[in-house]
Structure 1
Amino acid sequence: MISSPPKLRDELEVIRGMDDIPLIFDPVTGNYHRITRAGEMVLTYLDGTRTRDDLVVFLSRADQERAGAVSRQIDTFLAALDRSGLLEGSELPDKPQDGSRVRTSMLMPRIILTRSLPRLLEPVAAVLRAVPATLLVLIAALGALAGYTFGFHTLFTAMPPPQDLAGPAFLIATGVMLLYVLMHETAHALVAQILGTPVRGLGVALLFYFMPVAYVDRTDAYRFRGRGGRVALAMAGILSDGWFCALSGAVALNSAGLLRDTAALLLGMQLLMLIVNLNPLMPSDGYTAIEAATGLTNARGRAFALLRHTVRRQELPAHLANLSKVARRGHMAYGLFSMAYVCFLAYAMFHALPVTVDLALSAVGR
């Protein structure tokens, strides 16, 4: 029920998120609610001193011609706030019980494994905060680049053919890879802790209800507005993977037998993981980094809409027609790169499928 006069709940917080978009944070449910900039302005008047009619008169500047449109907009806005439980007297939406570790969605149920990461990572984060941020990023990036270069050079030049990497090495490498994925997510959590926006939990999601995917809940990353920090947060996992890639390469070069075979398989899995994490067509770490660096949202959708209208020689919609030449060229380049990426990925998967099947069958003795 909407209070009269309408009043925003006192504990709510209005912040700015990516692309400078206004958000309302509800500390009771832990949810963020996106609003327009015009809605943000209206919120300042929802202090319990003005009725709904007072708001219409005030915002329409007593202009009778505008009053009708403003009235409908105010009603829609207040109704949306009420449905979300953001007004005094409105019913709070259902939320998981405190301590619940399982959340479901249409295609990806999630299981929280631990909420203790902020407490565990804070001692390390406190030490790293004392290091200049630029130096910290430079060391992480250069180490990752060197690690990927060394690891993949080892994979393609000093390892036996994939067909020879049979037996238990495949199962062992899969287990170690799960540990690497855990460290990948922990790296995101560590950067979030350094930035003062701790993750809410570490867990496992079941993509399409059967494919396990590790994740950390970075919902509160909205609070950090600096683009550099957001890029670092998005790329933290990829950079940590580069260091572990160097470790796998070093083991592969300095060992033999089962240990070498396991390390070689790990390098192949890490290459696949890098390809997935740089996927420009999914909400991957690479795509998130691009959005954070440019301050844009839905860059992928804009790029493909621009390509589609250009190829069909159709008139561009207003949001695309108003793009600057530089922005338009950037979106076109992004769309073309995405198409080239898909072609490359399809080619690689086609050639790797027989070898992958052979390795899987050999791991179970067939």
Structure 2
Amino acid sequence: MKKILLTFVLLFTLVGLSQSYEFQTIKEIECTPVISQGVTGTCWSFSTTSFLEAEIIRLTGRKIDLSEIYNVRNTYPKKAENYVMRQGKAQFSEGGLAHDVINSVREYGLVPNSVYTGLNGEEEKHNHAELQALLEGMLKVIVENPGKKLSPKWKVAVQSVLDVYLGKNPSEFTFEGKTYTPASFLAFTKINPDSYVSLTSFTNQPFYKSFIINIPDNFSNGSFYNLPLEELVQNIDNALDKGFTLSLDCDVSEPYFSGKYGIAAVPANDADSKTILTEIKPEKTITPEYRQQEFENLTTQDDHLMHIVGKVKDQKGNFYYKVKNSWGTENMGNEGYIYMSVAYVKLKAISILVHKDGLLTNTKKMLSL
């Protein structure tokens, strides 16, 4: 009888400690629907374009489906020039960062997706595998410089390939019965590219100063303001509380990140790396020093960009950020969103992009914004 009672107590204790997630929405900022980036490495544009769509809602009340591929189309020549002028000693890939979208918007404006889809003929899904391979192969030949004197025609060749695969840049178009150029459409959306700042947190750089993060996709050498880790998180919370969303660059390669379950959390015990995707488990305490260590040993890498649009909490009171992903909704948990724990953000977030008005007053002061 005692053995039966002991077994019952142990089972009851285990059940009490292992709880499936039950989430309650704490903050949700209006955004556009989850869509898929398809077979492309363009999460940087999908996430940051989604961020700009949420900004347009905040600024104008309008829901506008912007073209993600327009930003991609106008960033490729920049990456190509970086690769050629560095004589192939640089990465040429589909990747990029949030500030590349902002740079594109500043120079080339914005267009709606109805005007520029980046799809040709009967294509329904984005697939840039052939485009990327063709451009990379062509650029390698250009770098070899077989004519012994580089001709400026190579730039025209890159533009021509992009025109064939993605489409020519529109110079003028109609939207809701009115005629716009990309520049006038940008003005119509009320987006000001100079209003956005990139933030990060690393211990090997001075705080409240900007520096260039050495990651492969930072081909444009973008600078990031460096904040203490706790202050970075406080600014995320402050922005959300004030109705600002954020573009997020982070590592998603760990087993405790899952699109299928829509969960990202850092288990205190490595044995819980899979279990934590379906059950509440204790999480690791993330210090600035541990974050720095994991970045420098390349455990934390620049993998994927997404869009923070709100906060939820589980039944134990643990908070998670509601992060809009760009992998579609099919076979994805939480309707294509990732519920990302605070610990995960502290450890795996490379950087964030946010409107400067979403920052804490003291942070703005320290950064002279």
TM-score strictly above 0.5? no
Bigger radius of gyration, 1 or 2? 1
Quick check: which one's helix share is greater? 1
TM-score range, shorter chain: under 0.3
- TM, length-normalised to structure 2: 0.22
Task: Identify the structure with bigger relative contact order (alpha carbons < 8 Å, sequence gap 6+).
Answer: 2
